[in-house]
Chains A and B, each alone.
Chain A
C-alpha cells in the first residue's frame, strides 16, 4: 500500500467507525459515542498501518456466548481470530479500556474482520458481542475491563516474547484515566526495567472519564513527563492525525517501551456532543427531541469516502 493509499484507507476506517457507532447509538437510545470520536483515528491507524496482524479469510460472524474458560469447557475460545490468531512473528493487540468495545467492533467491521451484522448482537443476551467486552468478544484475547490489568498482561506477553525470541510485538490501546491507577505505574516501571521495546502503548488522551474531565477527577498531568520519568519513551501526537500516530508508533525500538500519547478531542466529528460536556462517558438521550437531533446527524452523515 502506498503512502497516500494507507492514509486514505485509515481515514475511511475512522469515518466508518464514527458512523457505525452513531448509527448504533441512535438505534439503541444510547452508546459510547465520545470514545468513538476520540479514538477513531487511533484504531484506524493501528489496524491500517501499525499492527502486523493476520487476516481472517473472510469477515467472521460473532459467535454466541460459549461459557467461561475452565477445565470442562472444550468449546471455549477467545476473540483473537478476528485479529488473525496468535503467531510468534505477528503482533498481538490488547484493548485495555473495554468500554471502547463498541468502537473496536466498528473497527473490525470497517477492516473486513467482522461481518457488519455482527453489531446487531451488541449487548444482546447470549451474545459474545458484549457491551464491556470480555476475552471471548470479537478482537479481544484477555480480560481487561478491570482497568489497569490490560497493560500488565501485555507486559507479561512482551516479556514472554522476549524470552522466546519471538519477533511479534505487543500493541496496547489505553485510556488516559488508567494513569490514575497505581498498578499502571508498576507496569511501566517493570517494562522499563526489562527494556521491553517490543511493547507499544497508544493512549487515547481524551481528557474524559466516567465522572467527567480527568483534570477535575484526579490530575495525571504532566503525563508525558511522568511516563518519561518512569523510563518510558514518550511521543506526543495529535490523535486525529493518522500520519503522526503511525510515524510515532513505527519508531525504531531503542530499548524502552514506547508510549504514543495521542491527544484527542472527545467530540471530534460530532459537535452535537459538545453540549453534553463535561460528562461525555456514555450518551443516553434525555428526550425525544434529543434523539431526533442525533438521528438528524446520522441522516446528514456524508456518504462513504472513496
Chain B
C-alpha cells in the first residue's frame, strides 16, 4: 500500500515555528480542523484566536505585518477566499504584506457540500496582483510548503490538505517554487495535474503506460506565478495533445493557466480540461464526487483515450489495483 501520513501539517507547523519566531497563527474557530491545535498548545502566546470573523481576521493579519509579524492564517478555503476577498485585496495583496493563508478543504475534498467546497479559490486568488498561489498534492508538499511560502516576500495563498495524506514524492524532494515535478516522461500525451488529482493521474498513467501509451505527467504546485521551469518543453512532448485535471472549476484554475501558457508560448496543441464544469456541487464522499465531476483516474483514462482515438479497455478494477509509490521527479528542473 501507498504510505499515508496523518496530520503532517500539525507536527510540521510546530517544528517549523521553533525556528521562525516572527510567525503567528491566526485561526477562526477551526483550529483542530486545520491542524493548528498542536501549535496552539505549544506556542499559546503566538496563537491568535479570531473567532468566526474572517473579514476582521484578514485585515488584522495585514495590520500585524505592519508591525513586523508574519501571520499564518488557518481556516477553510471558502471562508478565506469568498468571505474576506475585499479584505485580502486591500489589507493584504495591494500592500504586498507577507500574510500566508492556509485554505483547507480544497474543492471536493469535503462532504460538507457547496458551503464548504472551495471550487473557485484558485481563480479568486490568481486574480489578485502580488498574490502567490500554491497547492499541495501530497504529504511531502504539506511538510515543505511552509518553507516555500515563507521565502516568498509577499502574500501567499496555500491550498492545503489535512488528515491522512498520501506520500507521492520522496521526503528528500521538497516542494520548490515554480518547479514542476515530472513523475513520468513520454511522447503521446502530456498530462498536467495539481493537488489531489495528481494521485488519481498516477493511477491512470501507470495502467496506461502498461498498455503502451507514452505519457508525460507534470505535477504543478505553484499556480501563480504560472511559470513552471521547463513546462514548454514538457508540454511539447505531448504530440497528440494535453490533458489538465484539477479539483477546481475548469475556468480560472490550472486548466486556464495551461491554456494561457500555451497561447503565450505559441504552442499549438489540443487541450482537454478536466475539472468542475461551471456548477456547484453537493455533499457526498470524495470518490463519489470526483467520479461525478470527472476528475478521477477513470475520467483521465477516458480523456486520453479520446485524444488518441483508441479504446484501451481499461476498467475501474485495473486502476484500483495500482500500487502508488513515491516517485522521484524524472526531469530535474535545473536540466530543463
Contacts and interface: CB of A to CB of B under 8 A. Distances in A.
Interface of A: 68-71, 86, 135, 141-143, 145-146, 148-149, 152-161, 163-164, 166, 182-183, 186-187, 189-190, 193
Given A149-B90, A160-B63, 5 more contacts: A69-B130, A71-B130, A152-B62, A156-B59, A159-B48
Q: Which of A71, A156, A182 has the most CB of B within 10 A?
A: A156
Nearest to A156: B63
A160 B64 contact: yes
Interface of A is mostly: helix
B327 to A, nearest CB: 33
B87 interface: yes
B61 interface: yes
B67 A160 contact: yes
Contact of A142 (B48, B66, B130): B66
Given A69-B96, A71-B153, A189-B53, A149 B91 contact: yes
A143 B56 contact: no
B69 A186 contact: no
Contact of A70 (B64, B91, B129): B129
A11 B50 CA distance: 41
Given A70-B96, A160-B64, A149 B59 contact: yes
Contacts of B90: 143, 145-146, 149
A153 B129 contact: no
Given A71-B130, A164-B67, A142 B60 contact: no
B325 to A, nearest CB: 38
6 contacts: A135-B94, A141-B66, A153-B91, A155-B60, A182-B55, A183-B87
A50 to B, nearest CB: 20
A152 B67 contact: no
Q: Which of A71, A161, A186, A187 has the most CB of B within 10 A?
A: A186
Nearest to B60: A156
B154 interface: yes
Contacts of B61: 156
B63 A153 contact: yes
A71 B86 contact: no
B51 interface: yes
Q: Which of B64, B67, B154 has the most CB of A within 10 A?
A: B67
A149 to B, nearest CB: 5
B32 interface: no
Contacts of B95: 69, 135, 142-143
A164 B69 CA distance: 10
B112 interface: no
Given A70-B130, A160-B69, A190 B56 contact: yes
B50 A190 contact: yes
Nearest to A69: B96
Nearest to A78: B95
A154 B63 contact: yes
Contacts of B94: 68-69, 135, 143
B68 interface: yes
A289 B24 CA distance: 60
Nearest to B62: A153
B127 to A, nearest CB: 15
A135 to B, nearest CB: 6
Nearest to A94: B63
Interface in B60-86: 60-69, 86
B104 to A, nearest CB: 21
Interface string B121-157: 0000000011000000000000000000000011000
Nearest to A182: B55
Closest 10 CB pairs of A and B: A156-B63, A160-B67, A152-B59, A186-B56, A156-B60, A186-B53, A153-B63, A183-B55, A157-B63, A143-B90
B20 to A, nearest CB: 15
Q: Which of B24, B60, B68, B91 has the most CB of A within 10 A?
A: B60
Contacts of B45: 163
A190 B63 contact: no
Nearest to B24: A163
Q: Which of A86, A152, A182 has the most CB of B within 10 A?
A: A152
Contact of A71 (B24, B65, B96): B96
A190 B154 contact: no
A153 B130 contact: no
